[in-house]
Amino acid sequence: MKRRNFIQTAGLGAGALMMPSLLMGNNISAEALLTPGLDVAAKKVLADVALNSARSMGATYADARIGRYLNQYVFTREDKVQNVVNTESFGIGIRVIANGTWGFASTNDVSPDGIKKATGQAVAIAKANSKIQKVPVVLAPVKSHGEVSWKTPIKKDFKDVPVREKVDLLLSANSAAMENGANFVNSALFMVNEQKYFASTDGSYIDQDVHRIWPTIGVTAIDRSAGKFKSRQGLSAPMGLGYEYMDGLDSEKIAGPKGTGLIGYRNSYDIIEDATLAAKQAKEMLTAKSVDAGKYDLVLDPNHLGLTIHESVGHPLELDRVLGYEANYAGTSFATLDKWKSGNFKYGSDIVNLVADKTYPGSLGAVGYDDEGVKTKQWDLVRNGVLKNYQAIRDQVHMIDQNESHGCCYSQSWNDVQFQRMPNVSLEPGKDKYSVDDMIKDVEKGIYIAGRGSYSIDQQRYNFQFGGTVFYEIKDGKIVGMLDDVAYQSNTQEFWNSCTKICDESDYRIFGSFFDGKGQPSQVSAVSHGSSTTRFNDVNVINTGRSI
C-alpha cells in the first residue's frame, strides 16, 4: 500500500491515477452504457446454476451475485478535457458455506460452465479452510423475499445525458473559477450505476439498480513571489441521486453564516456558483490569519461534520471492528462490548442522537436489500447520548445476542466477497428552532469550519485530528475573518460529550464518502452522513503552519 502511495501520489494532477483501480471495469462507449444487461429471467437461471452446483458439492448455504457495474468519469482541468472514462464490469461472485466455513470465488465467465467452475473453487476454499476453522459460521435467519426488485428513485439517469453536456458544465465551472482569479482548477464527475442481482439458497431473488454521483472541483490560487499556494475544494456532497443533482436548484440552497458567502447544497448542487466562490476564497486564504493555538468552541457545518461522524461514530460502531475481524487492517474499537452491555455508556451529551440507516432518500447507502438479501431499515446507535447498538450482518449478529441482521452487508463488485460495511450514520437535528446565525451569535470565541480536509484517527478511534476546507474566526457572536493553519485534536468520547447545540431540521443536509476503504483485499463503499450545523465547546485547536 505504501509503495503505491509513492508511485500514485507521484502522478498527482492526473486525477484518474488516484481512483481505486478496483472500480475500473472494461472501457466501453457512452452509448454502450445504455445497452440493457441480461434480463431478470436469464439472471435467475444462471444464479440457480451456482446455487444448485454449490448444494451438490456439499455446501449448506450459497449465494450468487451477478453484477453489472457501469461507471462514467469525466476529468477536466482549466479549459481542457483530460479524460472521459466509461467502464463496464460484468461477472458473478459465489459465496458458500461448506463444513461450517466460508468460501468465495468469482469469475467474469458468466456461462453455466464458468459458474460451475467458480462454485467448485469456492467450495474447495471453504473445505481447505475448515480444517483450521475453530467456530462454525452461524447465520441469523432471513425471510425469503421471493422475486423482488428495487431502484434508486432518480429523475435523470447519467447514462442518458450526453458526455458533451457534462464536459461543458465542468468547463463552465472551470472558466468561472479562472475568471475569478484562480491559477489552476481541476474538476471531475464520478457517476456510478450498480445493476446487482442477488440469489441465495434461502429463496430470495433480488434485482436492484443503484445510482450514485459525485462532482468535485479543486481551485488553486498561487502567490509566486511568496512561494505560497492554497487550494479550496468544492462544497458538493457525493449523493445517491441521478444527474438531476447537477441542476443547481435555488430551492435546495441553504445560506451559510453571514459574512462567509457560503452556501449549503441539499439535493441539488450549483457547481458554477461554488467554483466562483472557491476562486475568491482560495485567493483570500493566501493572506488569511494564522490561527493562535488553543481552546475554541467549534461550529461545524454538515459538509464538514459528516466526515467527523464517519470516522468517530461510523467506524468504531462496526461490529466486525469491535470483535477483532478488522484488527489487522483498519483496527479495532474503543466501543467494546462491555461498554455497550452496561447500558449507560455516555458516547455523547444528552442531545446527541445518532442513527444508522440504509433507506434515507438521496443517500449513498440507500438500497432496498443488502448484499446478502436482508431488507434494509433504520436503527439507533446512540440515543440521548447513550450507546445503544452496533452495525452487524447475518454471521455476526448472534454475537451481540440479536437474531436479526441489520442489513448492512456490501461488496464493491461481483469480484469481491461481501462483508459488513457502514450504513448511513447521521446526527439527528435539534428539536427547537435554531439557525446557523443564531448559533454564531451565541459563540464568544470560536471557529466555524466548512468542508472536508485532512482527517486522521487512531486504530481504536480514540484520538483524532481533523482539518477542513475553510475556517472563519468567531469573536463575540460575529464572524470576523478567515483563518489558516487550523486543525482540531480531540478524543471521540470527550468530543461528543462537548456537543452543546444542534441547529434545527431546516439546516439538515447529508455529506458522505464516495470511496470509503475497508477490508483485505481492500474494498471501497459509499456512505452518507446527515446533520445540521453543530457546536462543540472547548476543543483543542493546533496551528499546523511550519517553515522549512
Partner 1 sequence: MAIYTKEEARQIMEKALSYSTADACEVNLGGSESGNIRYARNTVSTAGHRSNQNLVVQSNYGNKYATATIDEFDDESLKKVVKRSEELAKISPENPEFMGILGPQSYDESVTHIDATANISPEYRAEVANSSIEPAAAKDVTAAGFMNDSAGFSAMMNTKGLFAYNKSTDISFTVTMRSNDGTGSGWVTRDFNDVSKFNAAKASQIAIDKAIMSREAKAIEPGKYTVILEPAASIGLLGRIGGALNARTADEGRSFMSKEGGGTKLGEKIVDERVNIWSDPLHKDVPTATWNGEGMPLKKTSWIENGAVKNLAYGRFWAKEKGVDAVPFPPNVIMEGGDASLEDLIKSTKKGILVTRLWYIRGVDPQTLLFTGLTRDGTFYIENGKIKHPVKNFRFNESPIIMLNNLETLGQQVRIDGSLIPYMKVRDFTFTSLSDAV
Cβ 403 to partner 1, closest distance in Å? 21
Cα separation, 364 vs 190, in Å, equals 13
**Cβ-based nearer residue to partner 1, 207 or 484:** 484
- Listed residue (290, 355, 325, 282) closest to 531, CA to CA: 355
Amino acid at 300: L
Closest approach, Cβ 116 to partner 1, in A, equals 14
Quote the CA–CA distance of 67 and 407 in Å, as a whole number: 19
Q: How many CB atoms lie within 10 A of CB 357?
A: 23
Q: How far is the CB of 50 from partner 1 (least distance, A)?
A: 15
CB 361, min distance to partner 1, A:
32
All 3 cell numbers of residue 215?
462532482
CA distance 319 to 432: 33
Q: Which residues of 142-177 are buried (b: 16+ CB within 10 A; e: fewer)?
A: beebeeeebebebebbbbebebeebbebbbebbbbb
- Sheet with 378-383: strands ordered across: 386-387, 378-383, 354-357, 424-427
Cβ neighbours for 31, distance < 8 A, ≥ 6 positions apart: none
Taking the least distance from each CB to partner 1, the nearer of 6 and 141 is 6
Closest distance to partner 1 from the beta carbon of 100 (Å): 11
Q: Which CB sits closer to partner 1, 26 or 506?
A: 26
Q: How far is the CB of 508 from partner 1 (least distance, A)?
A: 28
Complex with partner 1: residue 326 or 370, whichever CB lies closer:
326
Distance CA 469, CA 543 (A): 15
Q: Which is nearer to partner 1, 40 or 327 (CB)?
A: 327
Q: How far is the CB of 241 from partner 1 (least distance, A)?
A: 26
Q: Which is nearer to partner 1, 412 or 426 (CB)?
A: 412
| C-beta closer to partner 1: residue 144 or 454 | 454
Indicate the residue among 171 and 237 with the shorter CB distance to partner 1.
Answer: 171
Cα–Cα distance between 7 and 406 in angstroms, integer? 39
Per-position b or e across 186-202, b if 16+ CB within 10 A of its CB: bbbbbbbbbbbbbbbbb
Closest distance to partner 1 from the beta carbon of 77 (Å): 10
Distance CA 1, CA 520 (A): 11
